[in-house]
Amino acid sequence: MTDTPTARDGALWLLGQVLEEQRLLSELLGDKRHLRLPPPDRARAQRLATDTLRGLERADRVLKPFLRKMPPPAVHNLLRLATVELCMGGDAHGVVNEAVNTVQRGKRTRHFAGLVNAVLRKVSREGPAKWSELRVPHLPKWLRGPLRDAYGADVLGAIEAAHFAGAPVDLTVRADAAPWVEKLDGTLLPTGSVRLSNAGQVSALAGYEDGAWWVQDAAAALPVRGLGDVAGLNVLDMCAAPGGKTLQLAAAGANVTALDLSASRLERLRENLTRTGLNAEIVAEDALTYTGGPFDAIVLDAPCSATGTIRRHPDLPLARDGAEIGELIGLQSAMLDHALSLLKPGGRLIYCTCSLIPDEGECQIEEALARHSDLRALPDAFALPGVEPVWHSDEGGLRLRPDFWADRGGMDGFYMCCLQKG
């Protein structure tokens, strides 16, 4: 970056970190390099990078005929970024000129200015038509194979289409959602979340400063609702940060203990509690060694591959290779067993993961039920408004996929099950 970085400089840095260093955008957005940008430029940099990652396969296919050999990563990423903009309707003159200016500012890239200019002018003429003819970008092989085995080729294609379409912003409202639909020009989803198709800067929206709502995908808002009335109950939110489920529980009147290993992530949860005026006891500790309770109810949103969130986080399949999934499955099993030891007899536990991989969802519950003779699944816990019969899974849980509600903008991939002890 230069001393006065632009949004495009920020987007290029984000792309380089994801594609070359295998870092996740969620980690990068708090980095001082990103925070150097003014808030509007930060938002634009993130949008440019996210759009480019989502359309990376198409951008590379459009660029391929115009590149005799591969340029350095910084130049290649600049070409990808500009190609996505051009093919998605960006002003050709402005996009090309800004890209050339960007490459000219770098000491190591300035001699590529002529190449960038020539290639992008060809892309501006031929790219948009070719873009629309290209296939929906595929997931990488490490994820595509397991999902095809789990759901079949047709569903896999629908999931990939949902990922490419991106995601609107969903809100969970503390009280009556209906007035906020009108105030924010949103849509009320069947399950009660408010969906915004053109949210813009979230922190600038009405109700944000007052804590009237918080951002939470519609799928992620369902697990807590499976507990029913929690008013007055002592509830543990295990692996709580960044806190959407803690906020739901506190707003519903529960006495919440928010447990998480990461002190920095808990700081964000604390900020959200302050903004919304809600209360919870915050504990920074390893969930596997925590000995509090016993609790009336527990929510375990277990660490997982997060493969259900790709429509919002297109960096994930590019920065990961699936090598960690086996370890995560073992951790989930251990956490589930430990959580049950913290639960009162007769108490309820919600197990959930934002994963599309059955080994992190359905299989975990099947195996837990086999290990614990006093445990049973409660499928009726998710007989909730807006929940469709096809979402229910055979072992008693709920399987959500990005291609559900395709006409409304989809939802995150999520698995959840309500279990009762004793």
Cis ω for the linkage preceding 242 (within 30 of 0) = yes
- Please, which residues have CB within 8 angstroms of residue 302's CB and are 6 or more apart in sequence? 239, 331, 332, 335, 336, 351, 352, 353, 360
Cα–Cα dist 335/286, whole Å: 10
Please pick, among 354, 363, 417, 418, the residue that the annotation labels catalytic.
354
Amino acid at 283: V
The residue with tokens 């949902």 is: 162
Strand residue runs (E) in 239-374? 255-260, 281-284, 295-301, 343-353
Pinpoint the alpha helices (H) of 184-305: 222-225, 244-251, 263-276
- Please, which residues have CB within 8 angstroms of residue 120's CB and are 6 or more apart in sequence? 79, 82, 83, 86, 95, 96, 99, 100
- The conformation of residue 342, written as its DSSP 8-state character, comes to T
Answer yes or no: 354 catalytic: yes
The residue with tokens 């009237």 is: 212
The answer to whether 95 and 85 are in contact (CB under 8 A) is yes
170: three-class secondary structure by DSSP: strand
* 215 closest CA partner among 178, 167, 265: 167
* 395 closest CA partner among 412, 409, 413, 415: 415
What is the total residue count of the chain? 422
Q: Calculate Rg over the CA atoms of the chain.
A: 23
Cα–Cα dist 293/237, whole Å: 12
The answer to whether 245 and 223 are in contact (CB under 8 A) is yes
The answer to whether 214 and 244 are in contact (CB under 8 A) is yes
Q: The tokens of 185 are what?
A: 């020009």
Cα–Cα dist 224/250, whole Å: 11
CA angle 314, 226, 310 (to 5 degrees): 5
Amino acid at 69: K
Q: Return the H-helix or E-strand segment holding 399.
A: strand 398-400
> Active-site residue numbers?
354
